[in-house]
């Protein structure tokens, strides 16, 4: 009987000891950058750049004498960028757990900004639909300016994190190269 307790105790210690060594391995794997997330973030950055450019174009239209149709066409392009960004965010969220902590952070920070941008884009579209003759009024300009500001913030957020990831990757490669030559 005493022998069985010793075996059970040794078995428990072995299992706990193995678990002790496996946990750091899992943490190390979780801290490595996900190539899939890196690719999706690069796609999100490209989409955000286009979104910011089209938002700037729409903002400049508010200072022109162009027709409401010109505004509607540009808003449609912005809506398409917002929708594409939403699809990319969904893909990012599906693989978020596989990413490094910095990748998980950027995914979590994109969501509220993109939701606000989507809501503001919808409000801008609704305003234009209801007020085609009032595209030079302050209320419309405020919607458009808010859209531009949000698009600028989204682009900067994604760009800064992508740049961070690239710099981090470069430093890790340089560190590995230094270890090999040492």
Contact call for residues 127 and 143 (beta carbons, < 8 A) = yes
Q: What is the pLDDT of residue 175?
A: 76
Q: Please tell me the CATH superfamily of domain 33-181, with its number.
A: IL-4 antagonist (De novo design) like domain (1.20.120.660)
Q: What is the pLDDT of residue 179?
A: 65
Tell me the two tokens of residue 94: 């599906």
Question: How far is the C-alpha of 56 from the C-alpha of 80, rounded, in Å?
Answer: 15
- Provide the residue-wise pLDDT of the chain in tens; the chain has 182 residues: 544 444 444 334 443 344 433 333 334 444 689 999 999 999 999 999 999 999 999 999 999 999 999 999 999 999 999 999 999 999 999 999 999 999 999 999 999 999 999 999 999 999 999 999 999 999 999 999 999 999 999 999 999 999 999 999 888 888 776 666 65
Query: Cα-flanking dihedrals φ and ψ of residue 62, to 5°?
Result: -65, -15
Question: How far is the C-alpha of 121 from the C-alpha of 144, rounded, in Å?
Answer: 8
Residue that is written with structure tokens 């560190």 in the block = 175
Question: How far is the C-alpha of 81 from the C-alpha of 142, rounded, in Å?
Answer: 20
Q: What is the pLDDT of residue 32?
A: 85
């Amino acid at each position: 009987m005493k022998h069985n307790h010793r075996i059970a105790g040794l078995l428990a210690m072995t299992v706990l000891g193995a678990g002790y060594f496996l946990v750091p391995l899992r943490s190390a794997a979780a801290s490595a950058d996900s190539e899939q997330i890196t690719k999706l973030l690069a796609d999100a950055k490209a989409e955000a750049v286009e979104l910011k450019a089209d938002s700037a174009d729409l903002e400049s239209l508010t200072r022109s004498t162009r027709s409401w149709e010109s505004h509607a066409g540009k808003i449609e392009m912005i809506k398409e960028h917002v929708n594409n960004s939403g699809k990319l965010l969904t893909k990012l969220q599906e693989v978020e757990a596989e990413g490094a902590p910095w990748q998980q952070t950027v995914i979590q920070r994109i969501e509220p900004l993109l939701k606000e941008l989507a809501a503001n884009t919808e409000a801008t579209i609704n305003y234009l639909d209801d007020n085609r003759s009032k595209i030079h009024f302050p209320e419309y300009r405020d919607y458009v300016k808010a859209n531009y500001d949000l698009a600028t913030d989204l682009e900067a957020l994604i760009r800064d994190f992508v740049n961070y990831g690239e710099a981090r990757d470069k430093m890790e490669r340089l560190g590995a190269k230094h270890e090999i030559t040492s």
